[in-house]
Amino acid sequence: AIGFLVYARRLLRERDAEILQRQKIEEMLQTYKDHLEKLVEKRSHQILEAKKQIEEERRNLAILVDKYPDGVLLLNKKGKVLFVNPVACLLLGCKKEELLNSFLSFPIIPGETTEIEIFSATGEKGIGETYTMEIEWEGKPAYFVLIRDITERKKIDKLKNAFIAAISHELRTPLSIMKEAISLLIDGIPGELAGKQKHILDAAWRNTERLTSIIDSLFYISKIESGMMQLEKRLVNFTDLIKSTVDDFKHQAKEKGIALRYELPARAVNLYCDPHEINRVLVNLLSNAIKFTPKGKITVTCEERDHEVVVSVQDTGIGISEQDLPRVFDKFTQFNRKYGPGTKGVGLGLTISKGIIELHKGKIWVKSKPGKGSNFYFSLPKLSSDEILKERLLKAIKHALKDNSQLAAILFGFVNFKELSNQLPQKARKLLKDSAEVIKNVVKKGDDIIFTDTGEILVILTNTNREDAVDVMDEATQKLSAFISKQDMGVGLQFIANVAFYPGDASDADEMLRKLRV
């Protein structure tokens, strides 16, 4: 009996302990439940507030975009319109419901500006400028497109250019007559001159030459600033371009006791640029270096980097003061590089040089200290064959859009050009140039031809229909085949040709190049 009582008491204690433990667990669960409920309530409130804030921001953004003075469009990667503001509807001459979920007819090129036909504020046709950025919208890649009405700006630019062209013409004509008259007098055609008379006429000749140069510079800078300047880019042996330009100045430098030399890479540097305009930049920099270097040396260097080529023109001249350095490339700047008579110019050479380099998407800068000389640098990007061809196609597409016309492109590609280029680099380059000439004799004047260092020749036929383009490709193929059959390269030469049309086959330069390389 005693043992039973002990056992019963133990069972009771265990039950009481179990009940107590259960009560504690229930209390803990209730506390945790209360905490969770409060946390959920707090989080729900925060989410609700955040949602209200997002909706408020979206409303404000929508109001801002709706009232934005430029047209705004949001497109998916395929070019489908996801959003459009009222100004864009007005500029494109369409209703909102017509634009949404539609596809735009003008090319979408991220980071590039494109001119398109729009409707101005008066309802008349005008000129618009688009700029496209790549963004992320609702977790997916998209395009953000701005459209600005530049009709009035274009009209002003046109008037300005017409005015400068007219003034330039009106000044050039009498100047030409004056120069011719002075030249006849100097040559003694009307009769012999006395020594003093010849001296006076020589001064008149120099000053008419200087005035002509000033007029040309003003006209040139106007073209750059108005966007009328067109580069004629092609593949250039850049080291040869530097050599020939420097050689032209060696006599002038020698007369001043200046040692003029260049330090260039051992192998040829091929670069896609406008050789005429880059020559102009080099001429400006070398002229200044000689002008402001009493005696000493001038060194021109060229460094080939991974993605660019950097050129420097270093002199041991009088240098530029620190306060003048920020203004070196400004128009009409006459900074304190004073040395002797006749060293001042009109102050446009460096401004023109800067404009040319920036049109090439390069950079130009200077380092200088008074009394220790100056070092002018400029860099030009090294473009891949794809970038070269796309740039040319994009330029052609822009013109086609502006003229509301169509265009065709033919791409000739040498299949085994890399093998030939590795074995016989000079012959390979000559083959490309000669092949381009063969094709040039087939196409009409004004059509564009460009070749790359990868063995491709692109022909752009403006305002050409499909049938005519195919005829041109067939004729060019026959003549190119006949030309190649006569070449002794030691390597079997083969090429392929494809044609593509805008807008029939492609909507942008990327798609057109893909079609050409199928």
Q: Cα–Cα distance between 125 and 118 in angstroms, integer?
A: 6
> Considering the domain 68-149 in this protein, what is its CATH number?
3.30.450.20
| Cα–Cα distance list, 235 to 94, 152, 246, 378, 389 (Å) | 43, 37, 20, 18, 11
Q: What is the pLDDT of residue 339?
A: 46
More confident residue, 279 or 208: 279
Select the highest-mean-pLDDT range: 76-90, 361-375, 404-418, 447-461: 361-375
pLDDT over 90 (residue 286): yes
Q: What is the pLDDT of residue 327?
A: 87
Q: How confident is the model at residue 229 (pLDDT cuts 50, 70, 90)?
A: confident
| Cα–Cα distance list, 299 to 112, 123, 260, 308, 328 (Å) | 37, 58, 6, 20, 20
Q: What is the pLDDT of residue 343?
A: 47
Q: What is the pLDDT of residue 342?
A: 47
Q: What is the pLDDT of residue 244?
A: 94
Class of domain 385-516: alpha beta
Tell the CATH topology of 234-381.
Heat Shock Protein 90 (3.30.565)
Residues 325-383: pLDDT tens digits?
888 888 877 665 444 444 456 678 899 999 999 999 999 999 998 888 999 999 999 98
CB 337 within 8 A of CB 371: no
More confident residue, 23 or 60: 23
pTM attached to this predicted model: 0.68
Average pLDDT, the chain: 84
First to last CA, the chain: 103
pLDDT over 90 (residue 95): no
Classify the C-alpha dihedral 90-92-98-100 as positive or negative. Answer: negative
